[in-house]
A and B are shown apart, each in its own frame.
Chain A
Amino acid sequence: MEIIAAHHLEKYFGTLAAVDGISFSVQKGEIFCFLGPNGAGKTTAMKMIHCVSKRTRGDLLVFGMDPDTHSRMIKQRLGVVPQENNPDPDFSVFQNLTIYARYFGIPREQAEERAIGLLEFMQLSDKMDAPIETLSGGMKRRLIIARALINDPELLILDEPTIGLDPQARHLIWEKLRHLKSLGCTLVMTTHYLDEAERLCDRLVIMDSGKILVEGSPAALIREYAGEEIVEAFSSQEVISCLQSQDIGYDIFGDTIQVQAEDSRSIAHILMQAGCSDRITVRRATLEDVFLKLTGRTLRE
């Protein structure tokens, strides 16, 4: 079942195309990820899905409904974790959840019951009555995720859910997101952490300049665009001439040479034999290789 269907979706700010004709669909129960450099249009695309930004052109259906005409009904069924933590600083952790529940029209008793359950789920029970300013960054993030779950959403939208968190907090959040998926919740997220996307996502798109470059599962994309393994060596004249003499393709990034290879061992062996053993490593290809290959290494913004 399609939870989100977008067809030639466009968003213009003045003459700038932030989202430039993208088509994608998200199926029920999957974790779908938007990747891309800053300014690629990921957040804008997500804002159109959760009905706070109006599309310029194209078709968009969320739960089979048009965000332009049915925003209240769509928003009733989804949860949003914005990029920037925005807990309500005038209230305690617990009140943040119960007051947010009122915006959904959830009756008080039910709201309090859910709030207690969600604080337990996000491991914040002992911070229940704490003022917001006493929370750490990780706790605030968990609170925002708990808040997004207050209406028991069918679709959860997360803009960089683990931004700025320590490894412990990231792992906890990954575990919780997988658990939500196992309960049938659909997740749509963005992230700049490609290992996170690789671990969590069923399917992803890589965007750049408002367009979708590729779409697929992390494993399929890695196989197609980065091969199985990568050999890296210090970029010296000997290495380059050795690779050229063997007619092996390579890329140079700063002081590192990369060779994308099926048979990485034999390439490493060739380099060793030629006496260029300086800093040779063989590693598995990752989503990061795909990402950099497709979007380039130039800094954005």
Chain B
Amino acid sequence: MAYGGLTEISRGSLAVWRRNLDAFIKTYKVNFIPPFVEPVLYLLALGYGVGALIQDVDGIPYPVFIAPALVSISVMYSSFFECTYSSYVRMYYQKTFDAMIATPLSIEDVITGEILWGATRGTIYAAFMIPVLFLFGVIDMPTSLLLIPFALPAGLLFSAIGICFTAVTPGIDALNYPAFLFITPMFLFSGTFFPIGILPQTLQYFAFGFLPLANVVNVNRAITMSEFSPMLIYNIFWVFLVALLFFIIGLNLMKRRLVN
């Protein structure tokens, strides 16, 4: 258990990651629909529909304002749901984790592989959204390619948080609690569809202090609009630090759940 279980991670975690990638590729037709369809729907309904009623947000056209939020939300949803519902199905119903830990893989390898995969899925989705958003003319190029490398730590953050819930949930239905009480409010109040700046000061501090999505959106918006501020250093640092924190918590909670 030295260093919170981090020393128990081996290259074997990549075999777990690869298994999930293989399963994803096998069902690629369904998996590749969301990153193309989602941004189109959101941009049409919110960007241009609701956006028609809004002059601009701090001088920014509304579709341009929400574009980075759409990428952030997609990373959040795909990573978080992969490491909650999907991981839970593999762990509890398919007994895939049991089969894996009967091989030289450690539990830490399995959980690390799951989290890496959740982050990868989020990154794949972010990457596929870029050409769509570019065609709508709502993101700057080539700076927006930076969305891809940043999707990885952001994905790790949401995956690691997801794994923590998966490790403590009494059943698959109870995973609806974090989905509705944590993810959905974040989806709406993290500077996604209106600027955080219009919230009361304390809520702004709360958002950047405790909401993962608020920090991710702030970074992604700076990327798509090529406008960088010192605040971003804080946001990026926050994402890495909290991802590492939940990664270690997740390893240990899972170990407690699976070893007896």
Residues in chain A within 8 A of chain B (CB atoms): 13, 50, 52-54, 71-73, 75-76, 80, 82, 84, 86, 88-91, 95, 99-100, 102-105, 147, 151
Cβ A76 vs Cβ B95 within 8 A:
no
State A175–B95 Cα separation when bound (angstroms).
Answer: 28
Q: Which of B77-126 contact A (CB under 8 A)?
A: 94-96, 98-106
Nearest A residue to B99 via CB reads A86
The interface stretch among B15-23, B47-55, B68-76 is B15-23
Chain B residues whose CB sits within 8 angstroms of the CB of A99 once the complex forms: 19, 22
B202 at the binding interface (Cβ < 8 Å): no
Task: Report Cα–Cα, A95/B26, bound state, in Å.
Answer: 12
- A80-B104 in contact (CB<8A): no
User: Does B181 interact with chain A (Cβ within 8 Å)?
Assistant: no
Asked if B23 contacts A91 (CB within 8 A), the reply is: yes
**Chain B positions 1 through 44: 1 when the CB is less than 8 Å from some CB of chain A, otherwise 0:** 00000000011100110110011001000000000000000000
Partner of A103, one of B15, B26, B260: B15
Asked whether A90 and B102 contact (CB < 8 A) given A53-B260, A102-B19, A103-B12, the answer is no
Given contact pairs A82-B98, A100-B103, enumerate 13 new A-B contacts (beta carbons under 8 Å). Answer: A52-B101, A53-B259, A75-B102, A75-B103, A75-B104, A84-B95, A86-B96, A90-B23, A91-B26, A102-B15, A103-B104, A105-B15, A147-B99
With the chains together, A286 CA to B55 CA distance in Å? 89
Size category, B interface: 20 to 34
Residues of B within 8 A of A86 (CB): 94-96, 98-99
* A89 touching B104 in the complex, CB below 8 Å, given contacts A53-B260, A102-B15: no
Question: Are B259 and A88 in touch, CB under 8 angstroms?
Answer: no
Determine if A105 and B260 form an interchain contact, defined as CB atoms under 8 angstroms apart.
no
- A103 B105 Cβ-Cβ under 8 A: yes
Residue of A with least CB distance to B19: A99
Contacts A88-B94, A90-B23 given; indicate if A104 touches B99 (C-beta within 8 A). no
What are 16 A-to-B residue pairs whose CB atoms are below 8 Å?
A: A75-B103, A82-B95, A82-B99, A84-B95, A86-B96, A86-B98, A86-B99, A88-B19, A88-B99, A90-B26, A90-B94, A102-B15, A103-B104, A104-B103, A104-B104, A105-B104
B12, A100: Cβ atoms under 8 Å? no
Q: With CB as the reference atom, state the residue of chain B lying closest to A92.
A: B26
Chain A residues with CB under 8 A of B105:
103
Name the B residues within 8 Å of A91 (CB-CB).
Answer: 22-23, 26
Chain B residues near A80 (CB, 8 Å)?
102
> Once the chains are docked, how many angstroms separate the CA of A102 from the CA of B260?
26
The 3 closest A-B pairs by CB, nearest first: A86-B95, A103-B103, A80-B102
- Taking CB atoms and an 8 Å cut-off, the chain B residues in 208-260 that contact chain A are 259-260
Contacts of A54 in B (CB 8 A): 259
Nearest A residue to B23 via CB reads A90
The minimal Cβ–Cβ distance linking A30 to chain B, given in whole angstroms, is: 22
Closest to A86 in B: B95
B92–chain A nearest beta-carbon distance, Å: 11
